[in-house]
Structure formats: C-alpha cells, structure tokens
Amino acid sequence: MAAGQTLGRLAFVKMHGLGNDFVVIDSRGRGAVTTPALARTLGDRHRGVGFDQLSEVRSDDVADIALDFWNADGTRAGACGNATRCVADLVMADLGRDRLTIRTARGDLVAVRAADGLVSVNMGPPQLDWDQVPLARPVDTLHLPLPGDPVAVGMGNPHAVFFVADAGALDPAAHGPAVERDPLFPERTNVEFASLTGPDRLRMRVWERGTGITLACGSGACATAVAAHLRGLTGRRVQLDLDGGTLWIDWRDDGVWMTGPTARVFDGLLDPAVVGT
C-alpha cells in the first residue's frame, strides 16, 4: 500500500467497490492529515482526484488499524462499508492476513477474506431506535411520516429507505436532495430507493449525504436489506443489485455482514501545494 511521503508529496491509493470510489491515505505512524478543505479539494473531479469518499488509515493501540471517512463536500462520514472493504483488502495484503479488526466511529468492525476474491465486513448491528438513527423526534422508524413511507435505519450513519415499483427507472437526484435535508434528520441522511426483483433480491439506487448519486453504497445496502426484512419483503440474506454491481448482505446475530469485490485503480502522489490547502 502506498504510504508516507516522497519528496514532500503525500502518497495515496485510488480504489473502488462497485464503482463507489475512494481516495485512501495511509497515515499510520504519523499524524492524520485530512482536513475539510483537503477533502473538498481532492474530492473535486475536475481540479482534484475525485472520489465519493476519502478514507484515512491511522494506527490504533487495540485494533489493527483505525479508519476515518470524509465526504466529497468536506464533511465527516461515520461509516462507509465499501471503503472499509477496500482498505481491509489493502491492509490484509500488507500484513499477510485474512482477518482484520478496524476501529471506526461506528465501532470496531471485523473484515475477512471471502471466496472468489471477495471481501466481507461486519458493519455491526443496525440502529433502529429513533434517537440512534438519529431522528429529530420520536417517530415510528419503520414508517416515517414522510411522503413515500420510508424506513429509517442507522448503520453508523443515517439512512432513509424507500421501497418503490422500479428503482432502476427512478432518478435519485429528483428526490434525494430534499429527503437528505429534511428537518426530521438533524445530521442529514443517505437516501436509498429499492424494489423487489426476486426472492431475497433487490434493485437499489442511492443518493449519498454530502456526495450525491453514487454507483453503490455499502452502508446503504446494509440499511436497505435490514429495512426489507423488517417490512417482510425478504429474509435476512439478500442480494442487492446496484448501479455499479452486486453486494450480498447477511443480517446475522452479531451484525450485518456485507460481501463484495474491491479494486485498486492506481497509486499517486499529491503535490505539497494541494496538501497544504
């Protein structure tokens, strides 16, 4: 994994999980470098590198690594499932391991290598009480008082899941921004649109808080699978087909496990002038 600095330039890795793309900065053994301004600069697809989220890897005294997540608008993200899988793939390769513990704002997560080159991560138990999501006031999280009757699920970040007739035909940009900033969500929310396409199979599209439309969202897939089971649409093991590909979700007793592919696209060096933004 590219790490540290070369001639004052900060190294990074560009990765994606189903087209949900990330910049990964390895800060192990030194201080964290990411600021809101740096995240915004790097997240700009025209003037920076471009990403859906930025992940910064840090050393931890207990877990194998710690992870911080940033959105493209410079705000912090509490969880990012696909980025967690991508970083886990890199670090497991570095350490020659098939299992990893990861400290995040969501809590301590476990990632493991799965069959066929896939990576699984336990995203922890879903947060189903209104104050855990969080919501602004006590409401029934299974039937939010919003048009479209969404379900609220917390996965370390908030989600509003809408079940629609044809998620593939729906434009998330036409509906997502208003829901993201609805007063019911004090920290804003990610917005998922899903439709049942077969037994324990869903088609999903997503509008991500602080980023917009993305090709995939790991925590959103977990939230959608949980919401679908709670609504009686599926069992606890679900296949989700997203714009960028397929994830497999398994809501077990110890948490919501997500399995899918990862890809390392390229390594790069950030100019000191950019890092000092």
Residue of 114, 85, 113, 81 whose CA lies nearest to 99: 113
Token code pair at residue 71: 């959105």
* Residues with active-site annotation: 80, 217
Cα torsion angle, 268, 259, 240, 226, sign: negative
Contact 57, 27 (CB under 8 A): yes
Per DSSP, what are the bridge partners of residue 103? 66, 108
Contacts of 214 (CB under 8 A, 6+ apart): 19, 20, 52, 206, 208, 243
Q: Is 246 left (phi over 0), alpha (psi -120 to 50) or beta?
A: beta
- Distance in angstroms (rounded) separating the CA atoms of residues 44 and 41: 6
Which amino acid would we find at residue 18? Answer: L
Residue of 59, 116, 105, 61 whose CA lies nearest to 83: 105
Residue of 85, 22, 101, 139 whose CA lies nearest to 262: 85
Q: How far apart are the first and last CA of the chain?
A: 24
Rounded to the nearest 5 degrees, what angle is found at the Cα of 150, between the Cα atoms of 207 and 217?
30
Measure the CA dihedral 105/182/138/186, to 10°: 40
